[in-house]
Amino acid sequence: MRVSLRVKRAQVIIVIILALALAAILYLAFIVRSRRQQLERYRGAYAGVKVGDSREAVVAAMGRPHEIIGCPYTPFADAKQEAEFRSNCFQQYRYTFFMREYTFSFDSNGAVIGKGTAVSP
């Protein structure tokens, strides 16, 4: 009788461990899938936004920005391009998702004057 009870307890423990492991695997699969879908949504929306589009078009495509900032120093290889950007840039919308950042720069009229993406190592 004691041996039978020990076997049943061991079986119950094994079933519980397997159920917890399966639940953890399913949860991780769900997280990975949802992150991949969000990343693909951002990639597609980013590609769809063009220079000249409005702030509203960016928000419609990308959603609310994670950060709205002024225009911090942005180095350019060409000094003329840098000066033009600095004189026209009024505000930037930043979207950050899992070590990737999408940035949209706007002029004072709310039109996109530039966009960029970066990946953190």
Provide the domain count of the chain.
1
pLDDT for the residue 54:
96
- What mean pLDDT, rounded, does the chain reach? 89
In the predicted model, is pLDDT for residue 6 greater than 60?
Answer: yes
Q: Go through 26-53 and write b for each residue having 16 or more CB atoms within 10 A of its CB, e for each that does not.
A: eeeeeeeeeeeeeeeebeebbeebeeeb
Give the domain extent around 98. 2-119
In the predicted model, is pLDDT for residue 115 greater than 80?
Answer: yes
pLDDT for the residue 72:
83
Q: How far apart are CA 111 and CA 121, in angstroms?
A: 31
pLDDT for the residue 10:
85
Where residue 9 falls among pLDDT bands split at 50, 70, 90?
confident
Contact 15, 7 (CB under 8 A): no
pLDDT tens profile 65-88: 999 999 887 777 888 888 888 889
Neighbours of 20 (CB within 10 A): 10
In the predicted model, is pLDDT for residue 60 greater than 90?
Answer: yes
Q: What is the CATH number of the domain that holds 22?
A: 3.30.1450.10
Partners of 102 in the beta sheet?
A: 95, 117
pLDDT for the residue 23:
95
Cα 119 versus chain centre, distance: 11
In the predicted model, is pLDDT for residue 7 greater than 80?
Answer: no
